[in-house]
Amino acid sequence: MRMHPFAPLGLAALLLTILAPVPASSQDFYSDIRPVLVQNCIQCHTEAGPGWSVEDPEMAFQGRQAIAAAILDRRMPPFLAAQGVQAYHDDPSLNSYVLELVRDWREGGFEKGEPRPDPLPVARASHDHGALGGAPGTRAFQHHLSIEVLPTGTSYLPDQTRADDYRCFVVDWTGQEPAYVTGFRADPGNRLVAHHLVVHSVSPDMKERFRELEDAEEGLGYQCFGGALPDRLGQRAEREAYEARYPDGIRELSLSNFWLAHWAPGMDGHLFPEGTGILMEPGSAMVVQMHYYGQEAPGERDTGTRMDFQLAESVERPALHFPQTRGTWLAGERNGSMVIAPGETATYQVADDLETLVGYISRVTQVDQERIQGLEVHAINLHMHAFGQSGAITLSDRNGRKETLLSVPRWDVRWQRDFTLVEPRIFPREDLEGTSIAVECTFHNPRSEPVYGGYGSYDEMCFNFVYLAVQTGEPRVEDGEGDGADEEGPLQDPR
């Protein structure tokens, strides 16, 4: 899963685009294009970063055709959401003026111009919700707890045979009291090989089970393209052997972890929506998924990667990430629930009534069901694997009104991220019944053999990871014998 590594335009650059005249008949690299790269690309495209470096202007000019094509095709900055559907925080998309400027430069023959010093990058404001999309704000990240990913004195050499190496490490949560995570920052030990980091929380009672999984695989950590669970459990023989030891063990592993936070290049400390946070208990563990470039920096090792957490003793509105999918899809080969035939395109969709999630939300947030007065939908995240083609996430209220929260017309597994709504959708408890959120995934299989739903790297998934905050209050008086909410919830299989 690759995240959004480009920062939005700074204030000065935004003013420039507002006040600037229509592009002239010819632009040149040093006067017009280089400032765009400095403000929007150089945060990630450095010698020490995961992408091709544009730090040296002469080297960047040599890649002018590729740069122009990536910008005009809207592949860079990578932002999969269709334009004009919703307003999202931290949208790095370049505006129409910049696109015109680059198009004019290309059509004018890629004029170079006279070399000049780079403009100073405009400092970026702290983010209100950088982990889930981010919005410029005034709050600053405060460091309360720091935890290293790799054991002291060790290092990890990414698999040199893989272009992309996804490796999971089981790390103890060192907090001694219950606390809410309200902000997150990661400091990779070697940005030449680190592309992104995803943190999954593991409940205290399942920590040793994840330790066993780690110990069973050679070297530090275990391979985990799909998320917190080892890829090898996607293989039938491995899965059956594990469940012979732990009946229903895959399901238990899936339900015992949830997605906590992530880092990608360009993210320098980020905060969850104000007044919200995710509960972490003493004795918990974290499964930290590192995405490494295995071949682009031969011999480079990761060492000293650190995670910093901003914490609060309490929050106004406890939050969680709800993983929306169908559990049966994860056993597609066995039960035929998700199969993309050779050469075919197939669409799968699932919808959940918000009222039916109350039991699960109560269990994860530890807020009694009777005290849940409403839900806030802050962010959504579409997740598929390599055969994904397009997808959408929609919301329908109890009056039949339907809106699209996210449309992804051209899926790219390399550039996944969360999309935080500028205006969260808020529903009082009495409106939850009849209000549903749905995710739809379309896949295309170019291979000569079927693709199945499952846990493995070359299986498929259809997920929506939605960030929900809980409005609490005095216990409600229920009619009848309960609200029918599912206390167990869905299979919690992360990416």
Task: Give the Cα separation of 464 and 490 in Å (integer).
Answer: 12
Cβ neighbours of residue 37 closer than 8 Å, sequence gap 6 or more:
45, 54, 60, 67
Domains in the chain (CATH in brackets) are 11-124 (no CATH), 126-315 (2.60.120.310), 317-495 (2.60.120.230)
Lowest-pLDDT range of 7-11, 357-361, 377-381, 447-451? 7-11
Please provide the size of the chain in residues: 495
* 192-239 per-position pLDDT tens digit: 888 788 899 999 999 999 999 999 999 999 999 868 999 899 888 999
pLDDT of residue 18: 36
pLDDT of residue 180: 97
Lowest-pLDDT range of 260-269, 365-374, 416-425? 260-269
Fill in the amino acid letter for 22.
V
Lowest-pLDDT range of 34-43, 54-63, 136-145, 269-278? 136-145
pLDDT of residue 267: 65
pLDDT of residue 265: 67
Q: Which residue has the higher pLDDT, 430 or 455?
A: 430
pLDDT of residue 97: 82
Residues paired with residue 422 on neighbouring β-strands, in sequence order: none
Task: Give the Cα separation of 462 and 383 in Å (integer).
Answer: 6
Has residue 263 got a pLDDT over 70? yes
Reduced to 3 states (helix: H, G, I; strand: E, B; else coil), residue 41 is coil
pLDDT of residue 211: 97
pLDDT of residue 34: 87
Has residue 301 got a pLDDT over 90? yes
The stretch 473-490 carries a mean pLDDT of: 56
Nearest CA-CA partner of 27 in 113, 92, 97, 85? 113
Per-residue confidence band for 13, with pLDDT thresholds at 50, 70 and 90: very low
Per-residue confidence band for 49, with pLDDT thresholds at 50, 70 and 90: low
Which element (helix H / strand E) includes 64? helix 64-72
Has residue 131 got a pLDDT over 60? no
Query: Which of 4-18, 189-203, 358-372, 452-466 reaches the highest mean pLDDT?
Result: 358-372
Give the pair of three-digit tokens for residue 397. Answer: 């209220």
pLDDT of residue 2: 34
Let me know if 21 is exposed, middle or buried by CB neighbors in 10 A (0-12, 13-18, 19+). Answer: exposed
* 105-121 per-position pLDDT tens digit: 888 888 988 888 888 76
Backbone angles phi, psi at 254, to 5 degrees: -65, -40
Has residue 472 got a pLDDT over 50? yes
Average pLDDT, the chain: 84
pLDDT of residue 151: 94
Per-residue confidence band for 248, with pLDDT thresholds at 50, 70 and 90: very high
The stretch 328-343 carries a mean pLDDT of: 94
